[in-house]
Structure 1
Amino acid sequence: MHRFKAQGVSTRVFSKPQWVHPKDRLKQWTILTGDKVAIIAGRDKDTIGEIKSVNRQTNTVIVEGKKLAKKHVPMQPGAPEGIMRKELPIHVSNVMLLHPDTQVPTRIERRQIETTLDNGQVKKRWARFVKGTEIEIPKPERKYNDRSGDEQFSTAPEDVLAVTYTPSNEPPVPADLVRELRNPYKRRTV
């Protein structure tokens, strides 16, 4: 409770997360941020959404646009009526990954895959498969930067090389203005 107040955030906006004992936390996660999942229980049952964030401390995920709740908050630009809608966490047992081909909720198993590189080195990695088949579920691509191509470099190279500053010897503020603003009661060292 006090942690939120220290950050300057009202506890009415973000509720205190439910504590989960470390022995009850999942050791191996098969659901990652960016996955398409089906919600199999709760108010939004039989709907599909994308994972917005994963909280491994409380075994919950936040699905984009699902399990929305109204929060009454003080008036602010983001909520002019004083009502804000936000996604609440869903327990990880209430969501299932979708089959990559049929887009049907499916069970998953993790397997370790060995790949041999050109130089003979063997690399091991964990992969997600549809249970009982050889169909691999690819990991979602991370969204780092939406800008691509020429948008990343908004300033032309010619504009970068152009000289825009010309030094001069006169002060930036007129001397009579400096004398007027100076404190007459300050002792001056002569």
Structure 2
Amino acid sequence: MAARIKKGDKVVVITGKDKGKTGEVVRVFPDKDRAVVRGINVARRHQRQTASEQGGIISKEMPIHLSNIALAGPGDGKPTKVGFRLNKDGVKERFARRTGEVIDG
């Protein structure tokens, strides 16, 4: 299956404790259907001190399931589904289903 959400995409959380918040996708785990989004699903974790890092309680973004996020539309930032089509040159492109705009050229 083609990747509907990729690293660098702007997404909107559609359900859960962070509903309505927007953020940028930092990492995607396609085999687990999860993504890490900057500023979303933040948990506080205890970290042991190492030679390179300070110890203590740190805030860390945890993965969120792809079904709980939707791509933010390129024009208005509202949640939209992602579709695929071939452009006139025969190259596959992603587009916003709600508006029909191309997401990435």
TM-score (structure 1 length as normaliser)? 0.50
Counterpart AA for 2:58: M
Tell me how far 1:125 sits from its aligned partner: 2.0
TM-score (structure 2 length as normaliser)? 0.87
1:90 aligned residue: 64
Q: Which one scores higher on RCO, CA 8 angstroms, separation ≥ 6?
A: 2
Regions of 4+ moved over 3 Å: 76-80
Which of the pair is proportionally richer in helix?
Answer: 1
Structure whose alpha-carbon radius of gyration is higher: 1
In 2, Cα distance between equivalents of 1:52 and 1:133 = 25
Does 1:137 find its partner at 2:99?
A: no
In 1, Cα distance between equivalents of 2:43 and 2:54 = 14
Unaligned residue ranges in structure 1 (runs of 5+): 1-26, 116-123, 140-190
Number of equivalenced pairs: 104
In 1, Cα distance between equivalents of 2:69 and 2:85 = 21
What secondary structure is seen at the aligned counterpart in 2 of 1:86? Answer: strand
Tell me how far 1:32 sits from its aligned partner: 0.7
Which of the pair is proportionally richer in strand?
Answer: 2
1:128 aligned residue: 94
Q: Calculate the aligned-residue CA RMSD, in Å.
A: 1.7
2:5 aligned residue: 31
In 2, Cα distance between equivalents of 1:60 and 1:132 = 23
